[in-house]
A and B are shown apart, each in its own frame.
Chain A
Amino acid sequence: MPDQLIFGMEVFLNGLMAGVLYALVALGFVLIYKASGIFNYAQGVMALFSALTLVGIMEGQIPFAHLINAIFGTELHHFGWHVPGILAIVLTMAVMVLLAICVQKFVFRHLVGQEPIILFMATIGLAYFLEGVGDLMWGSEIKKLDVGLPQGINLAIDETTFGWFGYGFFIDNLDIVATIIAALLVAVLVIFAQYTKQGRAMRAVADDHQAALSVGVSLNFIWVMVWSVAGFVALVAGIMWGTKSGVQFSLSLIALKALPVLMLGGFTSIPGAIVGGLIIGVGEKLFEFAIGPLVGGATENWFAYVLALIFLVFRPQGLFGEKIIERV
């Protein structure tokens, strides 16, 4: 087999893995958009916030230590205990649920029935707010996140493919784990949405707020639930990316990676987010591999958007989006 083809296959596989991670971030957007029509700009910041909280809890950091020290002149930093990963994840989840309740109670309950752009704006305010709170609570230095996920090249794949092609493929263990977790998460979400009472209620709300309200679905509860689930997705995404790069400000920028995925897959479709993620992941990696060197590289950022744009010109509602029927 020619070298380029083998290399291409390796890039393709890595693109798939990256795509799963993009899909994971995009899922958070889709969930909220589907259930409440809110385009949640704060999703990326939520990933950062949840990861910061997770590390903070694991390390036994005192929240707002910096602020407390500045006001009272104390020297507090740590509680002096370490919380095991699983427990910390549960505690972080509790914080995210609390956040969801607050968001619903203080922000979106007052904005029911507003236009989408206003709701979008409110999430921008939320993003600013969370960014400030996250930093103030836990400090803005880089934190190492280690919940025990494996990292580094997967030797089994390396050796097997070396046996086949004479060139070992590079697949990161973390990516494999991430793929498995993301796949599980998606399966759970689909089952949840299709087969549980709350899931059905959620879909009912997504279809028609008023109709759902009239058959006795509590909008408040559903929206808190959706925000909690989105918080959970953000936490998972935060763990995956945070393990690789340490937990720091840039985590909040991963939202940008999810936008083309959303466009491509449609804002309202869970399968769309997954397929869109895979297409974007593979597309941008293959483009960088094949065309990147010719035009000077670093094409991934814009190519994802151009790819999505081309798709949209042919399917304006995205791959799996609901068909737009326009009436006067």
Chain B
Amino acid sequence: MKLKLATLALGATMAAAPVMADLVFPSLSYRTGPFAAGGIPFADGYADYFTLLNERDGGIGGEMASVPECETAYNTEKGVECYEATKDSGALIYQPLSTGITYQLIPKVTADGIPLHTMGYGRTSAKNGKVFSHVFNYPVNYWDGASVGVNHFMKQAGGSLEGKKITLLHFNGAYGREPIPTLEALSAKHGFDFNAIPIDYPGQEQKSQWLQIRRERPDFILFWGWGVMNQVAVQEAANIRFPMENFMGIWWSGSENDVIPAGDGANGYKSLQFHNVGNDFPVFDDIQKYVVDAGKAAGAGDQVGTVLYNRGVYAAFLAAEAAKQAQAANGTSAIDASMMRDAMESLEITAATMEAAGLPGFGPEFKVSCENHGGDGLAAVGQWDAASQSWSLISDFEPSDGSVIGPLVDADSAAYAEENKVAMSCN
């Protein structure tokens, strides 16, 4: 007890409130822990894009952007600490890049009135803006991903999946189980066999799962993994000589990290993407010039152009666009979280917006509305080329099957609203 008091005295000085100024985009990143390899490039991209805006354009609408970073190590409790430490600094938006932290923040941000943007992760049914007023998951979610993946396989199989067999290899947890209802619904619709094989965290040892796959010989595999699970799965697929073009990961299982350790064996491995890959965009030249070469990069600067770095840039780009639209709508450059939320709800990303930001054709075009916080659910398929050590998109951004996903979103969000007595908005 005494210890507590002593620390209290010490701590009183340490929690000094940050200065209120700038546009604050807190980055709850993880550069340590089991998923550090995925967290580092994302955090670098997120920070570097804002640094670029500051250095090149003098901020957003004349206001400098600041990106206070807080290390979560993918740990939910540290995530809470980080959220509480940064929320009073004028935080405009949170992007925690962790399913667990997202679920904790959903009720908290709603109470505090700060928007939460979970881009391609988090709670899928947050697409329903009537229930989740402060949570956004545009441009795409897991159920869209599952649907786009199945559509791609259908095309690959010549237009029909009748009698084919699709296996979902997934992380045994909330994240990995997300696509199961969608895939079950799709299996009934398209007549393919579906089964799910779970892998327990951390997934260092997957022999059983791959022996099962080898025995059952599914035609296609969809894969929901994160961390070491990705590298091992790609390696094992190469080991059993599973045809790589029939093996597709979700966007979290499709970065350079995941395929490089498997070497040539990974050639042809596919993954879903909701933004473009490579560094062949004007914005990367600017990042190189204004950020990396100026010694202001968040990381070592060697990640520019990798898939997860690009994702961080894309996340920052969407946040910056929303901030710009909020500034325009309110006629002030000093926006707050509620203006940000309103702007996100009416966000529209067009080819022209991306072009203007130096990211032509980088992501899908989409539009957010009060009822639909999830965008239009467009995703593309990328493929790994081991010879040139690069990912490339092999399809356009294609829509998912809204007739299957819509009812699932409504059912899940209604259950949440019922359990937590959430009042519907957007009326």
Contacts and interface: CB of A to CB of B under 8 A. Distances in A.
B119 interface: no
Q: How large is the interface on B (under 10, 10 to 19, 20 to 34, 35 or more residues)?
A: 35 or more
B32 A151 contact: no
Interface stretch (B230-238, B269-277, B411-419): B230-238
B211 A172 contact: no
Given A152-B238, A245-B204, A250-B204, A298 B40 contact: no
Contacts of B231: 142, 245-246, 248
A142 B198 contact: no
A248 B239 contact: no
Interface in B222-249: 227-228, 231-232, 235, 238-241
6 contacts: A141-B40, A151-B239, A250-B203, A253-B202, A288-B208, A292-B208
Interface stretch (B127-135, B257-265, B279-287): B257-265
B36 interface: yes
Given A10-B211, A172-B207, A297-B197, 18 more contacts: A18-B207, A141-B37, A141-B40, A141-B257, A142-B260, A152-B239, A152-B265, A153-B240, A170-B211, A244-B235, A246-B228, A246-B260, A248-B228, A249-B33, A250-B204, A250-B228, A297-B198, A298-B200
B235 A254 contact: no
Contacts of A146: 263
A298 B199 contact: yes
A14 B214 CA distance: 13
A135 B228 contact: no
Contacts of B228: 245-246, 248-250
Given A140-B32, A249-B33, A300-B200, A170 B240 contact: yes
Interface string A231-271: 00000000001001110111101100100000000000000
Contact of B261 (A73, A135, A144, A254): A144
B207 A241 contact: no
A163 interface: no
A11 B208 contact: yes
A143 to B, nearest CB: 8
B172 interface: yes
A253 B202 CA distance: 8
Interface of B: 31-34, 36-37, 40, 172, 196-200, 202-205, 207-212, 214-215, 227-228, 231-232, 235, 238-241, 257, 260-261, 263, 265, 295, 300
A68 to B, nearest CB: 13
A269 B182 CA distance: 51
A234 to B, nearest CB: 15
Contacts of A284: 208
A209 interface: no
B78 to A, nearest CB: 15
Nearest to B238: A152
A244 B237 CA distance: 12
Is the contact region of chain A dominated by helix, strand, or loop, or is it mixed? helix
Interface in A121-146: 135, 140-142, 144-146
B34 A249 contact: yes
Contacts of B241: 152-153
Contacts of B204: 241, 244-245, 250-251, 253-254, 257
A296 B31 contact: no
A210 interface: no
B178 to A, nearest CB: 16
Contacts of B260: 142, 144, 246
A301 interface: yes
Contacts of B197: 297
A285 interface: yes
B204 to A, nearest CB: 5
B200 A245 contact: no
User: Can you list the 7 inter-chain pairs with the closest CB atoms, starting with the nearest?
Assistant: A246-B261, A250-B228, A298-B198, A140-B36, A142-B37, A288-B208, A298-B172
Contacts of B33: 249
Contact of A285 (B207, B261, B265): B207
Nearest to B260: A144
A46 B203 CA distance: 20
Contacts of A245: 204, 228, 231-232, 235, 261
A86 to B, nearest CB: 21
A239 B144 CA distance: 39
B300 to A, nearest CB: 7
A141 B39 CA distance: 9
B180 to A, nearest CB: 11
Nearest to A242: B261
A77 interface: yes
A251 B37 CA distance: 13
B261 A142 contact: yes
A275 to B, nearest CB: 20
A289 interface: yes
Contacts of B211: 7, 10-11, 14, 170, 285, 289
A152 to B, nearest CB: 5
Most buried by B among A77, A170, A250, A285: A250
Given A140-B36, A153-B241, A170 B208 contact: no
Contact of B32 (A135, A145, A285): A135
Contacts of B210: 170
A300 B208 contact: yes
B227 A250 contact: yes
A142 B239 contact: no
A197 to B, nearest CB: 38
B232 A244 contact: yes
Nearest to B265: A152
B239 A77 contact: no
Contacts of B232: 244-245
A249 B205 contact: no
A93 B227 CA distance: 28
Contacts of B172: 297-298
A117 to B, nearest CB: 22
Nearest to A297: B198
Nearest to A174: B239
A151 B32 CA distance: 29
Nearest to B41: A141
A204 to B, nearest CB: 37
Contacts of B212: 289, 293
B37 A301 contact: no
A56 to B, nearest CB: 15
